[in-house]
Structure 1
Amino acid sequence: MLASRFLPLLLLAALPVLAGETEPSPARQKELVHLVRQDCGSCHGMTLQGGLGPPLLPADLRDKPAEGLVATIYYGRPGTPMPPWKQFVSEAEAMWIVEKLMSEFPK
């Protein structure tokens, strides 16, 4: 009886793990930082302050929903120069990138 009362809480706590949403390894984080700085930076500016694409600084992203930014990274924006990156990053990695962009992106 007691276990059945806590089962929903255990399942809720396990959702990120079950969905495969773990933080990228330190080596993969380094690769993602390089990807953003070099590949994304070619349009958004090497310092992410904008260029062909809009700036990607925390102040510029503050009012944007994280889920929408993840979708933009993963699926791109049809009809614009923003390509999909799903062949290079997972959705969980796109979320990691967004979280870092919304706080302070690593150097």
Structure 2
Amino acid sequence: MSLRAGLAGLLWLLAGRAGAGAPDPERQRALIELLRQDCGSCHGMTLQGGLGPALLPDSLAGKGDSLLVQTILNGRPGTAMPPWRSFLSEAEAAWLVAQLRQGPKAPGSPSP
């Protein structure tokens, strides 16, 4: 990804941060891209784990949505998990958690 494309994506994420509720379809695509590329760089491109733990439904079982949303927004101090609060609203983080709980779907669908 070029620097220009990365900056454009970052601006898009910041612009969508103000909205509440379920993101519109275009924002959903941007969030899934963030999940695949940015989260995938540590959690594995197929989210099966890497530097960070797996983000598959069975790995998330027993972890409350609130804990997962707060982990996304605030990161994990002392680990490689950064805070994403500057880029995501709480509603968007909750939407990502819901997508992760559904697990991988067919190519081209909104879920990771």
TM-score, normalised by the number of residues in structure 2? 0.75
Number of residue pairs aligned between Structure 1 and Structure 2:
88
- In the alignment, what sits opposite 2:107? none
Q: Which runs of 4+ in 1 moved over 2 A?
A: none
Question: Residue type of the partner of 1:46?
Answer: M
- In the alignment, what sits opposite 1:70? 69
RMSD of aligned Cα (Å): 1.1
Distance 1:70 1:91 in 2: 7
Distance 2:25 2:80 in 1: 30
Structure ranking higher on relative contact order (CA contacts 8 Å, 6+ apart): 2
State how 1:40-59 maps to structure 2 within 5 Å: 40-59=39-58
What's the % identity of the aligned pairs? 59
Distance 2:43 2:29 in 1: 19
- In the alignment, what sits opposite 1:25? 24
The structure richer in helix per residue is: 1
State the structure with more CA Rg.
1
Distance 1:96 1:43 in 2: 20
Distance 1:55 1:104 in 2: 11
Contact 2:42–2:51 (CA under 8 A) maintained in structure 1: yes
TM-score, normalised by the number of residues in structure 1? 0.79
What are structure 1's unaligned runs of at least 5 residues?
Answer: 1-19
